Structure 1
Amino acid sequence: MRFDRREVIASGAVALAAVPVRASALGGDPWDQARKIVWRIRPPRIPGRSAKVTDYGAKGDGTTLNGRAFATAIADLSARGGGRLIVAGGRFLTGPIELQSNVELHVAAGATIAFSTDPADFPTVLTRFEGVEMMGLAPLIYAHGKRNIAITGAGTLDGQASDRHWWSWKGPWKGTVDNGWRDGMPDQRAARRRLFEMAEARTPVEKRVFGAQDLLRPAFIEPYLCENVLIEGVKLRGAPFWQVHPVLSRNVIVRNLDILGHGPNNDGCDPESCTDVLIDNVTFDTGDDCIAIKSGRNEDGRRVAMPSRNFVIRHCRMREGHGGITIGSEISGGVSNVFAERCTMDSPNLDYAIRFKNNAMRGGVLEGFHYRDIAVGEVKQAVIACDFNYEEGAKGGFVPVLRDVTVDRLTARRSVMALDSQGLPGAPIERVRLRDCDFDGVTTPSKIAFTNGLSLDRVHVNGAPVAKL
């Protein structure tokens, strides 16, 4: 894996900026790098013209299918150089929406875009499913290879997923809500296994075609190979699958969202193989990881070989979910330079606050993680988890790497463990530093295995200072 300038030929030729020097290699305050990342991220420039989707025949009655009206309006704005498409005053039912360059989809307060639950309304597009490229059902809002796109407003995007629509495709699932699947019902397992086998065999992506009969659910919002992306203000409800999923995109802002979805794999925000990403002031209440930074699964991640890098996460609130801020597990392309600050995480149904998950099937270099001023109320398991035993664990020939993790000024009120850090023989976790951290309500000693360079500075567990965990 090379952290350098390159083109992603397999997905359609996009050049991403050269990687800056990683924060862990810099002298002085590593947070200077975070400030530089935020400084160079800019919202897209959308022309000042606007149009209403109702001007193109859309009806906000909740029953009329408005797919043609949305497509015509977006095409018209694009042909005129771009602008804002306003959705206001009703509940607008539609199939998937595809954005074009220089177009902003604005959902006004009180308005809802409700997405069809009929798979027949969904075309086939290039997408990723659990870190693997394929031709599959279009995400509910999609863009491919576009510049300057935005989704804004105080309204609601409703995927309408439930135990009757989409969620049962998962198959067996132990979540906090019923996904509707019962023994004997069809599910995604066979198709998912076939897709992963095709990826390991490097079957060309255009031959990995999966339709509605394969039951692989679409993502909610997916800008793919895009540059200058803003997703701001809206409420996300009823997601079929991953909710905000930028892929191979650069200069991305995810801000002021209200994300609620307790269904299977309802991750909140999963940027994958992206560069320069700001996630700011978002509320997450999810059925899986709140934030999960990814870069491709196993052989497909190594084939595309595009890491995620240069992330700033701040002022977010994590409630229910598997992990608050998670790295992985589809992380074979690697990740570097992640900064998170002033976030709160608190729920008896939140498994971990800070989580890294990798294994010897994934591999990938994970380095340069800086967290500060994190307030954790209650979590179900460990406050911080570094796990190389995730799923396949040591069953693979690729060495997972995790190094240079710094956590400053974290407070936690209740958890089973403070730290669960478990590398693999021959693949230890390297250099985890905790400073000025207080872990209260801890019921079980931390688990430390195959971890080198664990450093504790002014760390307290249940009120007592500790020199080791």
Structure 2
Amino acid sequence: MAIAATLSGRLAASPIIYNIVDFGAVNDGFTVNTAAINEAISTCAAQGGGQVVIPPGTFLSGTITLLSNVELHLATGSVLLASTDRADFPRQPQPTYRSLKDKGGWFALVYALEAQNIAITGKGTIDGNGAKQQPDPALFGGDLDGRPRNILFISCKGVRVEGVRMRNSGMWNQHYLDCEDLLIDRIEVYNHSNRNNDGIDIDGCRRVVVSNSIIDSDDDGITLKSTGPAPTEDVVITNCVVSSFCNAIKAGTESTGGFRNISISNCVVKPSRSKARPVFDTPRHGITGISLEIVDGGTMEGVTINNITIEGTECPLYIRLGNRARKYMEDVPTPPVGSMRNISISNLVAYNTGNFSSSITAIPGHYIENVQLSNVQFFNRGGLRPDDYIQSHIHVIEDERGYPQPTVWANLPSSLLFIRHAKNISLIGFQFGSKSSDSRPPIVAVDVDRLLIDKGLYSGPATRNVEFFVADNVHNPAVSEPLGWNKL
């Protein structure tokens, strides 16, 4: 791939090596090595660049700042361990690029601003000591409370992160904001130590590849965001295994700049290995497998999702156009309602999932357009009693300004797919069923124009007096009842 070749060629084949021990770093896990590591990086950058090596051992540190043309290499057996003293993580200056999260200031273990040709490589571990990272009471609450990220790169170009293990961040594990030409490959993330423990956040970035990685997180897993005016665009996510107590692969919730040209393929979503209680009391097997969301303005278009396996999760697929209309800065205009169109999802298998039902929903007067699902399988657990789910679509609240997540509805009045305020939707070549009987109609459509449902196969328990398709204000439907469906 051209991106990989370009990025790998920017660092010299035999870089000059700067070992942090030569600058006074001590691997005892107690000595704070912030000054020594930063001196090694500064010296390396001043000499034109090279490789700063963290050798085997545990090196405690506060914020280290990566500079242009420097590769931070964590050798096998090395651990970069975050200090738990807030004084070791000074608040970084406000960057030129403004976004939603910067009003709380920026805090990170590994930080870079407007750097070029930088990398983090090796088989060592970055450990954020997250369970011991406490919020600063002088700052804002929530995710603006000063807990450090493991990695925070802002407005950087030519970024490579390969091979490293990441653990226990104080907040989001990795946050790449307004970056370009970003290659992340063969990383392994386990992040279950604090609130807001996302696995990775790609935010307002261009030309990005995330590949061959394993991510297990308490909060969202692989997350695309747009917390400022820049869109997240030209992104490939492939060959990853993702587990999350929240949403495994997600675009949102912040959507100011929108999302364009996103390709997600060859990924497995499965339950987390963690035995701990989820921080936010979310389902242990996760909320969603795939979430696509526009709620703060912006446009989502040109999304392809292919070859995805989802095991567990309450909701396999959640596509949502809302109108939370959150401004990314106080002095900017309130964003208008965004748009979502041109989304293709194929070769998706979801099994042993919960009963939330997948959904494609917008708000009155605004429509999601051009969504195609093809060659997909959905098998839920079923077994609901009549009082376990919303009985009719008229009771499904719009909630256009709410947080976009299927937990607001829980068990919808459909077992397979709920569609509302949409145009040009197709479901072609699908199999579905429930492990135990589910008395809900599989598909409910409300305020939909041009709906094609064809070539379905039902392989669940026999149903009694249940319609396959329930429609309200649906124009131009072409709906074929699936093979195997019956009303005994």
Same structural fold, with TM-score higher than 0.5 when normalized by the shorter chain = yes
* 2:10 matched residue in structure 1: 45
CA–CA separation in structure 1 for the residues paired with 2:49 and 2:310: 43
* 1:91 matched residue in structure 2: 58
CA–CA separation in structure 2 for the residues paired with 1:349 and 1:281: 22
**2:370 counterpart SS class:** strand
* 2:127 matched residue in structure 1: 158
Cα displacement string for residues 313-365 of structure 1 (whole angstroms, at most 9, x for unaligned residues)? 00000112321211111111111000011000011522111102332xx1111
Aligned-residue Cα RMSD (Å) equals 2.6
1:323-342 matches, cutoff 5 A? 323-342=247-266
Q: Structure 1 residues 123 and 468, CA, compared in 2 at 3 Å: closer, same or farther?
A: farther
**Aligned residues of 2:107 and 2:147 also touching (Cα < 8 A):** no
Q: Name whichever structure is richer in strand by fraction.
A: 2
CA–CA separation in structure 2 for the residues paired with 1:338 and 1:159: 30
CA–CA separation in structure 1 for the residues paired with 2:349 and 2:323: 26
Deviation at 1:429, TM superposition (A): 1.2
1:283 aligns with 2:232: no
Cα displacement string for residues 299-324 of structure 1 (whole angstroms, at most 9, x for unaligned residues)? xx3xxx21110000000001123212
Amino acid at match of 1:46: L
**Aligned residues of 1:94 and 1:116 also touching (Cα < 8 A):** yes
**Aligned residues of 2:203 and 2:224 also touching (Cα < 8 A):** yes
Q: Which protein, 1 or 2, shows the higher relative CO under an 8 Å CA cutoff with sep ≥ 6?
A: 1
Which of 98, 104, 111 is the matching residue for 1:142?
Answer: 111
Deviation at 1:278, TM superposition (A): 0.3
CA–CA separation in structure 1 for the residues paired with 2:6 and 2:337: 33
Amino acid at match of 2:215: F
TM-score, normalization by structure 1: 0.76
1:464 aligns with 2:486: no
CA–CA separation in structure 1 for the residues paired with 2:113 and 2:236: 24
Q: Structure 1 residues 400 and 102, CA, compared in 2 at 3 Å: closer, same or farther?
A: same
Amino acid at match of 2:140: A
**Aligned residues of 1:272 and 1:308 also touching (Cα < 8 A):** yes
**Aligned residues of 2:104 and 2:146 also touching (Cα < 8 A):** no
**Aligned residues of 1:404 and 1:432 also touching (Cα < 8 A):** yes
Deviation at 1:66, TM superposition (A): 0.5
* 2:226 matched residue in structure 1: 295
Deviation at 1:161, TM superposition (A): 1.0
* 1:387 matched residue in structure 2: 320
Q: Structure 1 residues 276 and 154, CA, compared in 2 at 3 Å: closer, same or farther?
A: same
| Greater radius of gyration (CA) | 2
**Aligned residues of 2:104 and 2:145 also touching (Cα < 8 A):** no
1:191 aligns with 2:140: yes
Q: Structure 1 residues 187 and 449, CA, compared in 2 at 3 Å: closer, same or farther?
A: farther
Q: Structure 1 residues 391 and 41, CA, compared in 2 at 3 Å: closer, same or farther?
A: farther
Q: Structure 1 residues 364 and 44, CA, compared in 2 at 3 Å: closer, same or farther?
A: farther
Q: Which runs of 5+ in 2 are unaligned?
A: 272-283, 327-333, 383-414, 434-456, 460-467, 469-478, 482-488
Which of 249, 254, 273 is the matching residue for 2:184?
Answer: 254
* 2:22 matched residue in structure 1: 55
Which of 365, 381, 403 is the matching residue for 1:426?
Answer: 365
**2:10 counterpart SS class:** coil
Q: Percent identity?
A: 28
* 1:67 matched residue in structure 2: 34
**1:309 counterpart SS class:** strand
1:398 aligns with 2:332: no
**Aligned residues of 2:54 and 2:78 also touching (Cα < 8 A):** yes
CA–CA separation in structure 2 for the residues paired with 1:397 and 1:277: 26
* 1:240 matched residue in structure 2: 170
Aligned residues: 383
CA–CA separation in structure 1 for the residues paired with 2:323 and 2:289: 16
**Aligned residues of 1:334 and 1:364 also touching (Cα < 8 A):** yes
* 1:264 matched residue in structure 2: 195
Q: Structure 1 residues 379 and 270, CA, compared in 2 at 3 Å: closer, same or farther?
A: same
* 2:348 matched residue in structure 1: 410
Deviation at 1:131, TM superposition (A): 3.3
CA–CA separation in structure 1 for the residues paired with 2:480 and 2:110: 48
Deviation at 1:402, TM superposition (A): 1.2
Q: Structure 1 residues 271 and 397, CA, compared in 2 at 3 Å: closer, same or farther?
A: closer
Q: Structure 1 residues 225 and 129, CA, compared in 2 at 3 Å: closer, same or farther?
A: closer
Which of 256, 261, 267 is the matching residue for 1:343?
Answer: 267
Cα displacement string for residues 277-301 of structure 1 (whole angstroms, at most 9, x for unaligned residues)? 00001111111111111111xxxx3
**2:226 counterpart SS class:** coil
**2:261 counterpart SS class:** strand
**Aligned residues of 2:213 and 2:240 also touching (Cα < 8 A):** yes
Which of 288, 305, 308 is the matching residue for 1:352?
Answer: 288
**1:143 counterpart SS class:** strand
CA–CA separation in structure 2 for the residues paired with 1:105 and 1:287: 27
CA–CA separation in structure 1 for the residues paired with 2:86 and 2:120: 23
